[in-house]
Structures are given as C-alpha cells and as structure tokens.
C-alpha cells in the first residue's frame, strides 16, 4: 500500500510521507484533466420506494427533526479501515447502498403550514461531494482523496439519482448548531454526531430547568428513550417489504444458489486441503463479490462436529469424507439486501443411514413450519410447529427423559437441548432484520403479505453429549430457507435450492460431474 500524508487525514503519518510538495508538482497535477461525464440519467428504481418510506416515517414523528447518519468508515488497524457499509436505516430511507459516500447524513426537517400545523418533512442529504482536482485533497489525502479512494459524485448527480435535495457535508454543521430539543437521532450510526446532538439537547434542556444538575440525568434518559422510539419505528417500517425489496430478495437468493453450486464443484480441492472449511468460505465469498456487494454475514462453513456450533465462523477445520458439512451463507447485493440460506451436505455425496435419519427429521420440521405460514397467524406459531416435530422425533429415538407431549409443555423443553435456537427471523437489509421492533409486532406479531423471513430448524448432537447414542454424536444438521408471505399462504424464495436428502445427493452428483 502506498503512503502519503495530509493534515486533514488524521490517521496519516507525517514521518513517513513521500507526497510531492513542490509548487511545480502542484501546478502540474492540477491541470490537464478531462471533464467527467455524468453517469446518472435519472432516479434509480428504488428512489420512489425510499420516498414512500420517508413519508411513512414522517407521519410517525410529524414535529421532530430526524437525523439519520450513514456512519463513518470504521478503523480496522492503524490507517486501514473495514470495508464500508452504511447504516441500514440510512440505506432504507435514501436508496443508497454500496455506493454510499461514507459520513453522509440524511436530515428530515419538519414543515408547518401557515397555521402552524405539522405538514410533513423536507428531506435533505448531506454528503462529501467531489473535490476539485486542483485541491490538495485530490492527491494527498489517503482517507478521502480521489487518487486513493476513487471519485465521488457531484451534488447534482446524487440529487438526480436519489430524488433527494443534496447539500455539501460542510453545511451540516449549521444544522447541528441550530437543532432544537425536539430532535431525534439514530444513536448507533455515528457516535460523533450522536454526541453532538446529545450535548446540544442537554444544553437546551438545562437552560429550561430550574435544577439543571438534578434534571440532567433524567433528561439524558428521556432523550435516549425517544431515540429508541425512532430506532423501533425504523425497524418496524421494514417488517413488510415493498415490491423493490422483494425483487432484491429474489436476486440475492438466486446469487446464493450459485455460491452453493460453486462450493460443490470445488469439493475435491476443498477436501484435499487441511483447512478445507476456509476454502468453502473463500469459494462462496468469491461468488458473493462477483454477483453482489459481499456476503450478508460471516459465512459458516462447519464440517463434522463443528456443525454443532451454531455460529461457527472460524472455519479453520478440514472437510472430511464421511462427515456432513453445514454451510450457512448468503449473498448481499449492492442494495444491501441479503439472502440467508443453510444447506447441510454429505461430504462423500451420500448420507449414511443415521445422517439421513437426522436430516429428514429436520426437513420434516421445516415442512411443518412451511405448511402453516399464511396471513393472520402469529409469527411464534411457526416455531411451535417445527418444535412439535423436533420433540416427536427425539422422543421416538429415545433421547428424551419424558414423552414428546410432556417436553412440549411450558415446564418441559427437554427437546430444546438439541435445538436451542429459534426457527425464524425476519430478513432484508440486515440478516436479522427489524431487530428493534416491538415484541407484539415481531415474535407475537401477525403475519402480513410482504413479510420475508427464514425457516431454519435444526438438530445438533454435540460430540461429547452422553444423552445420545454414539452414532448420533458429532452430527449437526440445519436446513434454512427464505420465505415470502403471500396473500393466501407463502412462497419459498429458495425453492430452487435442493433440500430433500435425495435432491441433495443428486445435486452433489451432478455438480461434481
């Protein structure tokens, strides 16, 4: 990596800079550049959907100024950053995804009528627009300079692309200085902005208080609660997906299928490597980068007993013939919408008798959950349907100290030893989407058309679990699909990815030639 220095790049190190600084260099580098044509011909297709989302949020907070930052780049080590990802609420409300300019901020300014009544919001996007190529930033700033990180769009291009009013990031300072106590902020998106907003709101509150020291703590708590209400509402806005979001989810699932195909095709090389799980991860990640933005979450490539570790992401073990490998992976598109699919594959291409028994029990649990999904049921009923099968199967195999019926009672739960996680979670911009929604709209919520979530039962028999026969120990199976609630039932978005034991064996035989 090249090195340079610039006073506006605080993580650069002046003691190792080799940036040219002569007047002759500065004059020469600022000249002779062709004018860049605009790459924007009109609003992107998600712009209208984002505008509708902003309008729904505006109706929930009609008199408040709303500050939704994209967030800054996050430091990985010294002067290197993690790959940038804007905050999901920002992406949802602007339509910007992987092309977001780091540090951008969306502000919704409340409007009033002549009579002083609330009249919606004006949305303004503040971002660091392109700098002139006659500036030092252009060549000497390794954090934001175009020579280092690529060109940024103009304000006019972004305004046309997103259908939003745009202003330079420098103008945000005046907005922050002029905010009032009725301002809400997405707290976790940008710590520096949150601290600024908090300080000013507390100052305004102290000016109005007779006992500032006594009221400061109470005011801080109140402000955090109000911000939490905003975060809750932003999550709940995403519970039902619009047409653009559903189309993106389909595309993400299709790309994920290609990633699984790639893994199976590479299986001989994977098996031959002492850290074959890493090769599984790399093969899938390559497809994710080719077809989308990246992976939606760290890929789980869990072979053999690692499949019993629910979030195994070290992926440093071998992939051994005769074992199962559990692959939990999803492609995230440039729009940030992600799939979340799990398939459990027999490394040798065919299941053993015991492996097939466990696998088909998990599939039966998933099918039972699928069968009840329709508008009007409660989200938690999906889990209950899967658990009835898990309890019945583990009781049949003699693994439970009680009957299946007793295990399913609230005071029971013995079958959950072999599946401690839930069966479903909402899916979208985040792999665990809508996570700040209220319980009565999430777990206890009623299903509506347009909701997208996973169905992912599993069975995990730890290698040292003495409650199960030795032949079961070290077997972990999960089958996960992505489901769209329709007007009269549901659609499996991942139906094209083989899932029965017979289909999986045929898939592997065909992909490996």
Encoding tokens for residue 426?
A: 């909402």
The lowest-confidence range among 177-186, 289-298, 447-456 is 177-186
| Average pLDDT estimate for 257-262 | 98
More confident residue, 345 or 203: 345
Alpha-carbon gap, residue 284 to 338, rounded angstroms:
14
| Average pLDDT estimate for 347-359 | 98
Average pLDDT over all residues of the chain:
93
Checking if the pLDDT of 28 tops 50, the result is: yes
Q: CA nearest 431: which of 457, 459, 458, 454?
A: 454
Checking if the pLDDT of 2 tops 50, the result is: no
Neighbours of 374 (CB within 10 A): 14
If phi > 0 it is left, if psi is from -120 to 50 it is alpha, else beta; for residue 173 that is alpha
The lowest-confidence range among 10-14, 137-141, 254-258 is 10-14
**Hey, which residues does 127 pair with through a beta bridge?**
168
Alpha-carbon gap, residue 26 to 31, rounded angstroms:
9
Residue 143 is given by DSSP the state: T
Alpha-carbon gap, residue 442 to 223, rounded angstroms:
24
Q: CA nearest 415: which of 427, 429, 400, 405?
A: 400
Residue position matching structure tokens 């109706």? 59
* DSSP 3-state of 114: coil
| Average pLDDT estimate for 59-81 | 95
More confident residue, 237 or 179: 237
Alpha-carbon gap, residue 156 to 154, rounded angstroms:
5
pLDDT of residue 7: 43
| Average pLDDT estimate for 404-428 | 98
**Hey, which residues does 185 pair with through a beta bridge?**
67
Handedness of CA 207, 213, 215, 217 (dihedral sign): positive
What domains lie within the chain, and their CATH numbers? 14-236 (3.40.350.10), 243-511 (3.90.230.10)
Encoding tokens for residue 27?
A: 């004059």
| Average pLDDT estimate for 364-383 | 98
Checking if the pLDDT of 115 tops 90, the result is: no
Residue 155 is given by DSSP the state: H
Q: Are strands 65-69 and 105-112 parallel, antiparallel or unpaired?
A: antiparallel
Query: Per-residue pLDDT tens for 37-51?
Result: 888 888 999 999 999
Encoding tokens for residue 221?
A: 């708590």
| Average pLDDT estimate for 395-421 | 98
Q: Residue 5: CA atoms inside 13 Å, Cβ hemisphere, count?
A: 10
119 in Cβ contact with 111 (< 8 Å): yes
């Amino acid at each position: 990596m090249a090195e340079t220095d610039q006073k506006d790049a605080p993580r650069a190190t002046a003691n190792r800079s080799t940036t040219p600084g002569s007047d002759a260099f500065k004059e020469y580098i600022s000249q002779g550049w062709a004018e860049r044509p605009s790459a924007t011909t009109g609003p992107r297709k998600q712009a209208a959907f984002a505008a509708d989302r902003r309008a729904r949020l505006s109706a929930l907070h009609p008199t408040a100024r709303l500050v939704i930052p994209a967030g800054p780049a996050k430091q990985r080590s010294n002067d290197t950053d993690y790959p940038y990802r804007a905050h999901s609420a920002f992406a949802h409300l602007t339509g910007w995804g992987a092309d977001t300019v780091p540090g951008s901020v969306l502000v919704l300014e409340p409007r009033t009528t002549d009579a002083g009544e609330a009249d919606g919001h004006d949305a303004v996007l503040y971002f660091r627009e392109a700098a002139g190529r006659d500036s030092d930033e252009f060549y000497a700033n390794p954090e934001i300079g175009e020579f280092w990180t690529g060109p940024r769009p103009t304000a006019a291009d972004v305004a046309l692309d997103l259908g939003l009013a745009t202003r330079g990031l420098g103008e945000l300072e005046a907005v922050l200085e002029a905010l009032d106590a009725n301002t809400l902020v997405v707290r976790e998106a940008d710590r520096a902005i949150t601290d600024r907003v908090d300080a000013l709101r507390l100052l305004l509150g102290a000016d109005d208080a007779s006992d500032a020291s006594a009221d400061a703590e109470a005011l801080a708590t109140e402000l955090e609660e109000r911000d939490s209400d905003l975060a809750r509402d932003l999550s709940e806005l995403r519970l039902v997906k619009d047409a653009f979001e559903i189309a993106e989810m389909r595309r993400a699932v299709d790309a994920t299928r290609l990633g699984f195909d790639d893994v199976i095709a590479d299986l001989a090389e994977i098996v031959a490597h002492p850290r074959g799980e890493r090769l599984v991860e790399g093969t899938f990640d390559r497809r994710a980068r080719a077809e989308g933005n990246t992976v939606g979450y760290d890929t789980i490539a869990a072979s053999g007993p690692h499949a019993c570790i629910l979030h195994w992401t070290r992926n440093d073990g071998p992939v051994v013939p005769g074992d199962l490998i559990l692959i939990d992976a999803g492609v995230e598109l440039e729009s940030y919408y992600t799939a979340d699919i799990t398939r459990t594959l027999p490394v040798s291409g065919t299941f053993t008798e015991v492996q097939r028994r466990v696998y088909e029990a998990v599939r039966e649990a998933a099918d039972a959950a699928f069968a009840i999904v329709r508008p009007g049921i409660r989200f938690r009923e999906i889990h209950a349907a899967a658990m009835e099968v898990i309890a019945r199967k583990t009781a049949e195999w003699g693994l439970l100290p009680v009957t299946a019926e007793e295990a399913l009672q609230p005071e029971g739960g013995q079958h959950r030893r072999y599946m401690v996680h839930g069966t479903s979670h909402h899916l979208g911009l985040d792999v665990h989407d809508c996570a700040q929604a209220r319980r009565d709209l999430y777990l206890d919520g009623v299903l509506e058309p347009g909701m997208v979530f996973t169905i992912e039962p599993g069975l995990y028999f730890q290698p040292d679990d003495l409650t199960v026969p030795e032949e079961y120990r070290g077997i972990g199976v999960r089958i996960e699909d992505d489901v769209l609630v329709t007007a009269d039932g549901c659609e499996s978005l991942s139906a094209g990815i083989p899932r029965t034991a017979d289909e999986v064996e045929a898939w592997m035989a065909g992909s490996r030639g």
